[in-house]
Structure formats: C-alpha cells, structure tokens
Homo-oligomer: A and B are copies of this chain.
Amino acid sequence: MTKQAALDLLLGKIKDSKSFHLALALIHWDAMVSGVPQKSYAARGEAEGWLSMETFKRMMAPETLQAIETLEAHDSELTETERAMTRVAGRSYRKAKAVPPEEFGAFRALVSESNQVWEKAREKRDYEMMLPYYEKIFEYQRKLCDWYGYEKHPYDALLDDYEIGANVETLDRFFSALRSEIVPLLKEITDAGEQPKEITGNFDIEKQRELMPWLADFTGFDRTRGKVDEVEHPFCLTVNRHDVRITTKYHEDNLLSAIYSIIHESGHGIYEQNMSEELEPYALADCASMGMHESQSRLYENMIGRSRPYAERLLPKLQEKFEFFKNWDTDALYRTVNIAKPSLIRIEADELTYSLHIMVRYELEKGLMEGKIKAAELPTLWADKYEELLGIRPQNLAEGVLQDVHWGAGLFGYFPSYAIGTAYGAQMMHTIKETAGIDVDAAIRKEDLSPVTNWLEENIHRQGSLYLPEDLLKRATGETFNPQYYVNYLKEKFTGIYLKSTVNN
C-alpha cells in the first residue's frame, strides 16, 4: 500500500464513520429528550447496536491496520495532522484488537445486566446483590490491564484508557498533595463552624428559564450553533461542531442547580464548538481527553462562575427575578455559592471536597487492581476512607459504595479523569492570569469573557486531539501537569472565604 492509498483509505473510513456517529448521536439525543415509549426500547436498541457494530466492523477491517502500519512506516513524511490521525487511529485499533472478541461480548452482556441490577441493589441497599457482578467486572478489568499492557502498574493501563498518559505515579503525587493540604484545610473549615447563609424556598421555574440565555451567553456558548434543552440528568451532546446541545434541569427548590449546570455544560459546549474545522476530516476534532473536557466545564463553572466578580454580575440578575435576594450583597452570594462541607454524595459535592470523593474511589480501584482489596471488603473500606478523608461515614449503602453508576456499568479507571481535569483547569487559569497577563476578574465584571475564551480557544479548544493531553498542556502552560496550582487555588479561595476575618479584597 502506498502512503497516499493509506491516507485515502483512512480518511474515507473516517468520513463514513461520521455519518454513523451523527445518526447515533441523534438516536441518543432523542432517547434523552423525547420520552421514548417503553415498548419501543427493543427496536431502538437493536438499531443502535447494529449501527455501532457496523461502524466498528468497518474501522476494524484488516486493511485499516495495513493503512496505519503503512503510515507509521512513512512517519517522517507525514504532516503533523496526518501523524496525529495515525496515532489516534492506531491507538483505538490496537486497543480494540487487544481484547479477545468473545471476552468482550461476554463482558458487554454482563455489564448490561449488572447495570440493571445496580439500580435495584442501590434502591434496596443490598450489597450482596451486586457483589457477584462487581467480582466479575473487576476480574475482567484485571485481565484488561494485561491485554492493554502496562509498564509499571497494572492500573496504569486502565487510567490511560480514559486519560491518555495518566498513571499511578502521577496520580499518587496528585492525591498526596490533596491529602496533605486539602484534608487539613477542610477540617479547619469544619471546625470553624460558621457557614454562609443558604438559599431556601421555592423559585419559579419559568423565571429560572428566563435566566438561561444570559447564563449561556455569558460563558460564550454560541446558541446559534447549538441549543440549551431540558432533561433529567444534564449532559452535553455534539451532533456536529455547528450543532452542540447542552442541557439542564430546573429544580424549584434548588436555584443554584440549574444555574451551575448551565455554566458547567456551557464549558463542555464551548470546547466542542471551538475545535478547528480543519481537524475534522482526520477525526481529530475531538477532545484531547476526558480530563481535558472536564477541565473546561469546571474552569467555567468554578473558577469563573463561583468567583467574586461573577457573583457581582449574577446578583442583580437574581434580584430582578426573585424577591428572596432583596437584601443580599455580592459578598453573601459569593460565599453562598462556595459553601464547602463534608458530604457523602459525589455528584452533589462542592468545589473544595469534590476531589476527595475521587480520591476514595482512586485508592479503592488501585487496591482492587493490585489484588490487595477484595470486592467483598468495599463497603467497609469505602466508609473508612470517607471517615478518614472527609470526616463522615455513610449511614447506608445508597450514600456509600452503591452511589455511583460507574462500576456496575463497567467503567473503571474513569473517576480520576474528573479530578485531573479540574487540576488541568487550575494550571491553565494560572497561565492565563500570570503568563498571558489577562485580567480575568475585569473580564467577568465587564461581562465579556472573550480574553479568557480566546486564550482557551487558541491553546486548547482549537487543537482537538492533535496532541496528547500532556503535550497539549505543556504547549499551553509551558509546564507538564503540576497539581500544585490546583491545591494553591483551593487553599487561597477557601481560606479567604472561611478563615479570614475580612472577606473583601
């Protein structure tokens, strides 16, 4: 196969697969927003399965590997984009090939069953129901480590699957920094005893909806190339770069929930909207990694949306709609949107404690892969770790080890990418402020985030998956991943809110 033939073959396969992906995205979207009739599940599932399998089969045809190997042999003649395409295609081809098809099939069936069992087990708070599934799923993950291969630690193989380049060495360093600096800070805050006032009462959903355009536009999410819809569990879905859909859920008794989910999903959405069109034919107009995606959503949600200048802009908007905020000032709102306290449920956790929830899961997953922990021990170990890191123990399994969908759905090694992403964001924000010299607070006060978003677009968004996440981060910030920025950011912010007598700056 000539270099040109290999390029044509790969580009052709990528082009075809785009149509399948658009179809699958819209089938998924429809299921999430349209309220699909129960009886229609089977036929839809069959079509979804068939379309996924069809595009998978096309990608996994032997000539794909031949093309990849041809391009690898011509490495020095490739453009940067062609080389990246080869890397991404080669990685996914080889990862898929590494797993024996019959094992993969059995695992898919297991997971589809265990997913359903998990819902019931959580409801009944019955760990025994889940145990045999967890045991099999963890056993499969251990085999996966070998199939994928690793250099130092088996868990590295799984971490790398969600966050390319992530490994136990880096994550141990990351979490030990959190342990030594954030765990004591949380204890100090908890001991200080004084909490900001809370937002209570009911807030008309129609009025909440009226805030949406302002919230989405503020972040820079382009509503002419996407939209904001309502669903049960908010997410972001890309149909194509000109049709990026984010979602929220309005709660009458929880005003902040929709506000911050819109900002969070906007962060995901902007990333998708800003990827370079030129990368599309190469299948590189895609996030560099899960962590990189999460870095954008959390940067907008927390570092911008929960900043003091943001509270300053948000307050008059809330006062316009809701009598409740009549006597509030910026400082009160800023403190309230940053309430930090130990809690048991990860998805409801605040900015300060979120990564501690991840640490619990990371340490357990690592122990499971090392063979030092057995599935049967998880409920107790889980509770012990919460007590150790957050100072509280779950009173039942639904607020303990059975709270997350992930393990029962076969997602293992996924959790750490959430925390890494948040830390990437802090490192970027440091560069934006210190190296690029952008006055982020002033931009927020002017309700014009373009200096920040332009920097992110240029340095992160546009680049898609042209570079490995570690390279992308280094190109953008001049440094490899350094969790200290994140630790410093948290310390400074929450010390300011909780432990200083004067809160004005």
Contacts and interface: CB of A to CB of B under 8 A. Distances in A.
A252 interface: no
Contacts of A16: 50
B37 A23 contact: no
Nearest to A31: B26
A22 B19 CA distance: 14
Contacts of A44: 22, 239-240, 243
A195 to B, nearest CB: 42
Given A26-B27, A29-B30, A242 B19 contact: no
A13 to B, nearest CB: 13
A38 interface: yes
Contact of A39 (B19, B23, B225, B227): B225
A51 B225 contact: no
A1 interface: no
- The prevalent SS among residues of A at the interface is helix
A484 to B, nearest CB: 41
A36 interface: yes
A43 interface: yes
Contact of A26 (B30, B227, B241, B243): B30
A224 B41 CA distance: 12
Interface in A232-250: 239-243
Copies in the complex: 2
A76 interface: no
Given A29-B30, A50-B16, A243 B36 contact: yes
A47 B23 contact: yes
Interface in A201-242: 224-227, 239-242
Interface string A34-74: 11111110011011001100100000000000000000000
A35 B240 contact: no
A22 B27 contact: yes
A449 B36 CA distance: 26
A22 B35 contact: no
B37 A19 contact: no
Contacts of A19: 46-47, 50-51, 54
Contacts of A51: 19, 23
Contacts of A24: 23
User: Which 3 pairs show the lowest CB-CB distances between chains A and B?
Assistant: A40-B243, A23-B23, A39-B242
Given A18-B43, A22-B47, 16 more contacts: A18-B47, A19-B51, A19-B54, A23-B23, A23-B24, A23-B27, A23-B47, A23-B51, A26-B30, A29-B34, A35-B227, A36-B243, A37-B224, A37-B225, A37-B242, A43-B243
